Chain A
Amino acid sequence: MKLKEKLGLGGTMPRPTSAPAPVAEREIDLRHEEDEALVRRSQRGESAAFDVLVERYKERLYATVYHMTSNHEDANDLVQDTFIKAYKSLQSFRGQSSFYTWVYRIAVNRTINFVKRRKNRNQYSLDDLDSSIQSDPDLVEMQSHATPRREVGLNELQEKLNDALQKLSESHRAVVTLHDVQGMTHADIAKVMSCSEGTVRSRLFYARQQLQGLLSEYL
């Protein structure tokens, strides 16, 4: 496939037989389409369809990668790389799993490899906390609970949480991030990480044991 086709800059891109709809209008239509349909369109060379998939998953992927790296810039680079890899490998995607699982698998594998490489270079670049956290019932309860760290500062808590997560092994960190932060099910995590549900449960169990030790003053 030529570069122009890849980027949707014209060339031999499939065009509708009737008068083409304006781009914005077409994108609005595409936004309502299912992942499978968008993947098929992308495989036929409709780059606008892939753009919709990027828009659909960029924030979720960013959040996953960010929580695994605790670094804003690294997360951005890795998510961009993930979408580039996905776009280039789209022809080999047979649809045996959902696009969501497939792209997550690429992102998580890339992030795990990246984190392994930069093991000795742990630099945080944390995102700001959303102001709505102040009204989170769990935080309110935690602050009112009789823990040794009753007067917990939010920024300090954020740093401690990231510190604790970075002390886990890559695979344990991935499982905790996907389950406890992102809220994915065991079955979905098993598909993303290409392992059994039992392995996911086991990793989660050991990761939580370690985290309970690291965050004992907040529990």
Chain B
Amino acid sequence: MDCKKTQQLFDDLTHERLAPVVAAQVRQHLADCTDCRVVEQRTGRLQRLLALKRYERPAPEYFDNFLSEFHGRLLTEARRIGWWERALGRVDDFLAAESMRVWRYSFTSALGVAAVVGLAWMGLLQSTDPSFVAIDPAVAASSSLADADAMLPPPHSTPSTIVASLPSRLPVASADYQPASMGNVVLVSTSAHADSSAPRYVLDHLSVAPASYDVPSVHF
């Protein structure tokens, strides 16, 4: 018998809870091993020291009101608890029941699997639902480009024809929509992309000077 095993059996030896054969082995080890004898003595002293904690007690009258406090707390608890807390409490009790202890982990695992399957099912539904097709970035990009093409003016348009066609082609139109009201932006068609691609919009002229990033110097 090794030292660790012997030291773990000190309590049982003291309280005579060991089988005679094991008790004889422990005693034999103690007779042969000085270290274990020292540990046994120190363990005994430690136990006696810890036993002094039993003298830490509340005042004798402390427990007089314990029962009435218990009733008060029970009443408060019953008033405070909502129906959903009661339901959760019942599930908790059900799982905490001694008969359910074996099944607790299985039940929890089953719940976890059910949650994962549910999430996967919802994901599958969303991917097959036509209203969610645009969520795919590639599809969304091509779809928005097609929409943009449909809204663009035809090639070889002049600014005036474009503006004239705007109210009928744009989803949001304004009655007083005029080229002048576009501020410093004018829509033009670029010849380089006339046939092969959609026209580009460029800044034609700026009515205000561009902002400078230079920090204005201050003169005194």
Contact = CB atoms under 8 A, between A and B. Distances in A.
Interface in B53-82: 53-59, 63, 66-67, 69-71, 73-75, 77-79
B70 A72 contact: no
A157 B56 CA distance: 12
Contacts of B49: 138, 142, 161, 215, 218-219
A18 to B, nearest CB: 27
Given A84-B74, A127-B58, A136-B55, A92 B94 contact: yes
Interface residues of B, number: 43
Interface string A183-212: 001100000000000000110110010011
Contact of A136 (B42, B52, B78, B94): B52
The interface residues of chain A, by DSSP majority, are classed as helix
A55 B58 contact: no
A54 B58 CA distance: 17
B51 interface: yes
Which one of B17, B52, B66 has the highest number of Cβ atoms from chain A below 10 Å of its Cβ?
A: B52
Contacts of B149: none
A181 to B, nearest CB: 5
Given A96-B99, A205-B8, A219-B46, A88 B89 contact: yes
A85 to B, nearest CB: 9
B52 A139 contact: yes
Contacts of A31: none
Interface string A133-177: 100101101100000000000000110011000000000000010
18 contacts: A6-B74, A54-B70, A59-B63, A67-B56, A72-B58, A80-B69, A83-B70, A84-B74, A89-B96, A92-B93, A96-B98, A128-B56, A130-B55, A132-B55, A136-B52, A179-B11, A180-B50, A181-B50
B47 interface: yes
Contact of A157 (B52, B67, B73, B98): B52
Given A6-B74, A96-B99, A218-B49, A91 B93 contact: yes
Contacts of B219: none
B67 A211 contact: no
Given A54-B67, A205-B7, A211-B46, A181 B53 contact: yes
A111 B172 CA distance: 66
A94 B55 contact: no
A123 interface: no
B43 interface: yes
The interface residues of chain B, by DSSP majority, are classed as helix
Given A92-B94, A205-B8, A219-B45, A181 B54 contact: yes
Given A84-B70, A88-B89, 20 more contacts: A6-B74, A54-B66, A63-B54, A66-B56, A67-B56, A91-B93, A92-B93, A94-B98, A96-B99, A127-B56, A127-B58, A128-B58, A136-B52, A138-B48, A162-B53, A180-B46, A180-B50, A202-B8, A211-B50, A219-B49
B93 A133 contact: no
Interface of B: 4, 7-9, 11-12, 17, 42-43, 45-59, 63, 66-67, 69-71, 73-75, 77-79, 89, 93-94, 96-99
A208 B98 contact: no
A94 B97 contact: yes
B73 to A, nearest CB: 5
Contacts, number: 124
A112 to B, nearest CB: 15
Interface in A68-89: 72, 80, 83-84, 87-89
Contacts of B48: 138, 141-142
A128 B78 CA distance: 34
A176 B53 CA distance: 12
A208 B43 contact: yes
Given A7-B75, A212-B42, A215-B49, A133 B55 contact: yes
A35 interface: no
Interface string A85-123: 001110111101100000000000000000000000000
